Amino acid sequence: SIPLGYFGGIGLASARGVLIKGSIVMDALNDVRTVIFDKTGTLTEGVFRVLSVEVVDGFDESELLRLAALAELHSNHPIARTIVKEAQRRRLPLRDEEITFHKVYPGKGVMANWKGKKIIVGTDEFLSENGIEVKESSKNATVVNVALEGKHIGRILLGDALRQEAKNAVSKLRALGVEKLMVLSGDNQRSTEAVAKEAGIPCFKGALLPEEKVKAVEEEMEKAREKEKLLFVGDGINDSPVITRSDVGVAMGGIGSDAAIEVADVVIMGDSLEKVPEAICIARRTRKIIL
Ligand code: ADP
Ligand code: MG
C-alpha cells in the first residue's frame, strides 16, 4: 500500500501548481541528479521577435515574408505564429486560397504549394535535405530559411528571450545537488549555445530532431549511476517523445500540447521554471515524512 505521506506531498505540490502523478514519480523526483531542458518555450519564453529579414539576389523582402507567412498559416509552432503576425503587422495580404497544400515537419519546418510552386520554410538542414544549397548564417539567432522552387530566396532571423526565472531555477537546482544540467534543442547550434550560456548551463546540443532528443536523453540515462534519475522539462511542442522516455518527464502546462500533458510525469501549471526545483524540494520533504 502507498504510505499516506505521499498524498500529503502530492496535495501540497498541487496547491503550488505542480501536478505530480503518483508515488513512483514522487520517489523518482527525489533521486534526480541530471536535469535536461528543452530550449524554445522552456528555457526561453517561446515568444519570438523578427530581428531582420535577409534576401538573396535582390528578392523582394515583403514578398519573402508574405510567402513564408502563407506557408506557415496553419502551423501552430511559435515560429510560425510570429512570422504570420509580422506579415499581418506589415499589412501583407495573406489569402489562404493561394496555398493548395501544406505539411508540417516537426523540428524542421513546413512545406507548401503556392500557385503550383513549392515553398520550403525551415532550418538549414531541412533545405539541404531537399537539395537546396544554403549558406550558413553567422548571426546569433534562430534562422528560418525560405526557398521557392528549389532556390534559397532568403531568411528570417528571430530572437526569443530567456525566461526571467531561468537563471534562478538553474542555481536552485544546483543547490539541490543536481550535478548535470543540459540544454537540448532543434534550433541551430549557435543560438542553442547562446541561450545555454545565458542561463548558466555548460552543456548543450543543438540542431536535434525530436527523435535525436530522445537518443540524447537515453545516452545521459545510461551514464547515470544506479538509482540516479534524469528529469527532462519541455514545453510540449515537439517534445512528447522525450518527455515520455525520461525517468521524470515534465511538461510546462502553459502552451504545451495536450499530448505532452498526458504523457508527462509532472505537469507545471503556472508555467514557471522555478517549479522544477520546487517539485524536487517537495519530494525530499515528503520522503522525510514517510521514512
Ligand atoms: P526546440 O527544440 O528549440 O524546442 P523545435 O524542435 O520545435 O525547437 O524546432 C527546431 C527548429 O526547427 C526551429 O528552431 C526552427 O528552426 C525549425 N522549425 C520548426 N518548426 C518550424 C516551423 N513551423 N517553421 C519554420 N521553422 C521551423
Ligand atoms: Mg520546445
pLDDT at 1: 59
Could you tell me the distance, in angstroms and rounded to a whole number, from the CA of residue 290 to the centre of ligand 1? 43
Catalytically annotated residue among 27, 31, 38, 247: 38
Mark whether 30 and 103 lie in a shared domain.
no
CA of 192, closest atom in ligand 1 = 3
Mutate which of 44, 120, 185, 209 for ligand 1? The one with the most ligand atoms within 8 Å of its CB, which is: 185
pLDDT at 72: 97
Measured between alpha carbons, how far is 35 from 114 in angstroms, rounded to an integer?
Answer: 43
Measured between alpha carbons, how far is 249 from 230 in angstroms, rounded to an integer?
Answer: 9
Could you tell me the distance, in angstroms and rounded to a whole number, from the CA of residue 128 to the centre of ligand 1? 15
Q: How confident is the model at residue 143 (pLDDT cuts 50, 70, 90)?
A: very high
205, 183 Cβ separation under 8 angstroms: yes
Measured between alpha carbons, how far is 119 from 138 in angstroms, rounded to an integer?
Answer: 23
Mark whether 86 and 73 lie in a shared domain.
yes
Mark whether 135 and 199 lie in a shared domain.
no
Residue 15's Cβ-count burial label (10 Å; 0-12, 13-18, 19+) is: exposed
Q: How many CB atoms lie within 10 A of CB 283?
A: 25
Mark whether 166 and 286 lie in a shared domain.
yes
Q: How many CB atoms lie within 10 A of CB 136?
A: 10
Mutate which of 47, 76, 144, 183 for ligand 1? The one with the most ligand atoms within 8 Å of its CB, which is: 144
pLDDT digits (tens, 9 = 90+) for 80-126: 999 999 999 999 999 999 999 999 998 899 999 999 999 999 999 99
Mark whether 166 and 223 lie in a shared domain.
yes
Q: Is the CB of 121 under 6 A from ligand 1?
A: yes
User: Whose alpha carbon is nearest atom 14 of ligand 1?
Assistant: 187
CATH number at residue 112: 3.40.1110.10
Ligand closest to the CA atom of residue 234: 2
Q: How many CB atoms lie within 10 A of CB 102?
A: 18
CATH number at residue 265: 3.40.50.1000
Mark whether 234 and 224 lie in a shared domain.
yes
* pTM recorded for the entire structure: 0.89
pLDDT digits (tens, 9 = 90+) for 4-62: 777 788 888 889 999 999 999 999 999 999 999 999 999 999 889 999 999 999 999 99
Which of the listed residues 133, 160, 187 is the one where a domain comes to its end?
160
Measured between alpha carbons, how far is 244 from 224 in angstroms, rounded to an integer?
Answer: 18
Mark whether 202 and 234 lie in a shared domain.
yes
Can 38 be counted among the known catalytic residues? yes
CA of 78, closest atom in ligand 1 = 23
Q: Is the CB of 220 under 6 A from ligand 1?
A: no
Q: How confident is the model at residue 291 (pLDDT cuts 50, 70, 90)?
A: low
Mark whether 229 and 195 lie in a shared domain.
yes
Domain that holds residue 170: 5-45+162-290
Mark whether 145 and 201 lie in a shared domain.
no
Q: How many domains does the chain have?
A: 2
Nine-digit cell at 8?
500529503
Residue 151 β-bridge partners: 148
In this structure, which amino acid lies at residue 265? D
pLDDT at 8: 81
Backbone dihedral angles phi then psi of residue 290, each to the nearest 5 degrees: -75, -40
Mark whether 171 and 235 lie in a shared domain.
yes
Average pLDDT estimate for 127-156: 95
Which of the listed residues 144, 160, 176 is the one where a domain comes to its end?
160
Mark whether 70 and 146 lie in a shared domain.
yes
The residues near 22 (Cβ < 8 Å, ≥ 6 apart) are 6, 10
- Give yes or no for residue 2 having a pLDDT over 70: no
ipTM attached to this prediction: 0.96
Which of the listed residues 160, 193, 219 is the one where a domain comes to its end?
160
Mark whether 180 and 74 lie in a shared domain.
no
